[in-house]
Amino acid sequence: MASYRIDGDEVRASLTGAAGDAGRGRSIVLNRSEGACLLCHSLPPSELGAEPFMGNLAPSLAGVGSRMTAGQLRLRMIDSTRINSATIMPAYYRIEGLNQVALAYRGKPVLSAEQIEDVVAYLRQLK
Amino acid sequence: MERRVPGSEQMNWLRAALLAALISSCAVISSAEDRAIPLNQLRSGSEFLSPELRALQADAFANPGMLWVERGAKLWSTPAGSAGQSCASCHQDAAKTMRGVAASYPRVDAKSGFLLNVEARINQCRSERQAVAPFRYESDDLLSLTAYVNSFSKDYKINVVIDGNAETYFEAGRTLYYRRSGQMNLSCAQCHEENWGKNLYAERISQGHPNAYPAYRMEWQSMGSLERRLRACLSGVRAEMLPYGAQEYRNLALFLAWRAQGLPMESPGIRR
């Protein structure tokens, strides 16, 4: 697990030290077995590709790149409970303080540091 | 214009006293019960189904769950074990003796103090009365007998006991319900209390009531127990599944039944 520093509501530095790949980020967001972001969030129709369904539990990701900095997006993906302890959003880069995690996932974050950076790069493009 | 009648002063005083008593008792009940979804806003899972699936559930000839109920009817009067005892040997006609019974489960067995669901109650009879091996969890035999017993509670309102010797189980179930679990770090309440009615992809989240089970689920293309359904949610949040029959499932089932108190039983239900 990469270490990171929280400044206000941001993690300003890349978890990998490098910029992510927005193309790979888009496929993580759309893929049901990776990020599964659309289980709860929606995207502008132009971004949807082959995925026909979107959830409505969480805010739309349309324009999220204009509303938030890369640092804000990064912290919200790493561990959204740092911002709102009651949030329904899973922590995508956290392995501590979880209950009864299935063996296959124990000790592993939902997404890798590289994947987090790829998604941050993609979301920043949603202006 | 107010009409004054003889003795109205006394009546008003009585009314005020009754009202005060009513208000104070209501306050006690609501704080003790602490219901996140008020009883008058309960919605069965069948309300979240398509009209086609609702119709399938309502039609006893088309409802595939009835295959298990029919099989259960045969098992009810089939002797098992060296003593040749069947369920009917003790309980006679289930249409009379089992009427409304399942609506009060899970319940505490007075003798052992254990919290039993209908499946466990059936297996207790097999061990203690028939002296045969218990049915395996999710076997067609156990699902069938459970579905048969539950079918005599169809349309009966769920009514479970949560105080006395049930209280510890109930509180453990409540704790589990509100605890986040799995890699996805979600509690039951976050979906089924805070976000029911919204969509996960295209699927509407229900209030998570247990009144259809054992149910025929389209995803399974088969009948399954409430425990199997609970395991599906655990798998969804990437939490470790406990073995069938685990105490945690039963505690949770008691809490779920209390949340659904007053909701009519639908087993054999149809679910997505």
pLDDT in tens, B58-112: 999 999 999 999 999 999 999 999 889 999 999 999 999 999 999 999 999 999 9
pLDDT of residue A50: 78
Is CATH 3.20.20.70 the right assignment for the domain spanning B38-60+156-271? no
Model confidence pLDDT, tens digit, residues B119-156? 999 999 999 999 999 999 999 999 999 999 999 999 99
Does the pLDDT at position B7 exceed 80? no
Does the pLDDT at position B252 exceed 80? yes
Model confidence pLDDT, tens digit, residues B212-234? 999 999 999 999 999 999 999 99
Does the pLDDT at position B34 exceed 90? no
**Is B1 touching A (CB cutoff 8 A)?**
no
pLDDT of residue B54: 97
The token duo for B60 is 């006893």
CB A50 within 8 Å of CB A44: no
- First and final CA of chain B: distance in angstroms? 59
Which residue of chain B comes nearest to A94, CA vs CA?
Answer: B183
A70-78 and A113-124 helices, crossing angle to 10°: 140
What is the value of ipTM here, to two decimals? Answer: 0.95
pLDDT of residue B16: 52
pLDDT of residue B107: 98
- First and final CA of chain A: distance in angstroms? 30
Which residue of chain A comes nearest to B241, CA vs CA?
Answer: A102
pLDDT of residue B33: 61
**Domain ranges across chain A:** 22-124
Does the pLDDT at position B9 exceed 50? no
Q: Clarify whether B87 is annotated catalytic.
A: no
Question: The domain A22-124 is classified under which CATH number: 1.10.760.10, 1.10.10.60, 3.40.50.620, 2.60.120.260?
Answer: 1.10.760.10
B222 min Cα distance to partner chain A (Å)? 25
**Is B204 touching A (CB cutoff 8 A)?**
no
Does the pLDDT at position B26 exceed 50? no
B46 min Cα distance to partner chain A (Å)? 21
Q: How far is B239 from A30, CA to CA, in rounded Å?
A: 23
Mean pLDDT of B199-209: 95
A121, amino acid identity: A
Given the DSSP bridges, would you call strands B203-204 and B199-200 parallel, antiparallel or unpaired?
antiparallel
Query: pLDDT band at B12, cuts 50/70/90?
Result: low
Query: pLDDT band at B17, cuts 50/70/90?
Result: low
Determine the residue among B179, B238, B248, B252 to mutate to test chain A binding: the one whose Cβ has the most chain A Cβ atoms within 10 Å: B238
**Is B195 touching A (CB cutoff 8 A)?**
yes
Q: CA angle B258-B261-B263, nearest 5°?
A: 135
User: Do B180 and A98 count as a contact with CB atoms less than 8 A apart?
Assistant: yes
Question: Could you give the residue range(s) of every CATH 1.10.760.10 domain in chain B?
Answer: 38-60+156-271, 65-151
pLDDT of residue A48: 86
Of B182, B186, B241, the CB nearest to A88: B186
Does the pLDDT at position A40 exceed 80? yes
Sequence-ordered list of residues with C-beta below 8 angstroms from that of A58, at least 6 positions apart, any chain: A40, A41, A88, A89
Chain-centroid distance, C-alpha A6: 16
Q: Which helix (H) or strand (E) holds B216?
A: strand B215-217
Query: pLDDT band at B27, cuts 50/70/90?
Result: very low
Look over chain A and give the mean of its residue pLDDT values, rounded to a whole number. 95
Q: Which CATH architecture has domain B65-151?
A: Orthogonal Bundle (1.10)
Q: How far is A65 from A63, CA to CA, in rounded Å?
A: 5
Q: How far is A37 from A55, CA to CA, in rounded Å?
A: 9
Of A52, A55, A100, the CB nearest to B199: A55
Q: Which helix (H) or strand (E) holds B224?
A: strand B222-224
Does the pLDDT at position B257 exceed 70? yes
Neighbours of B22 (CB within 10 A): 10
CB B107 within 8 Å of CB B151: no
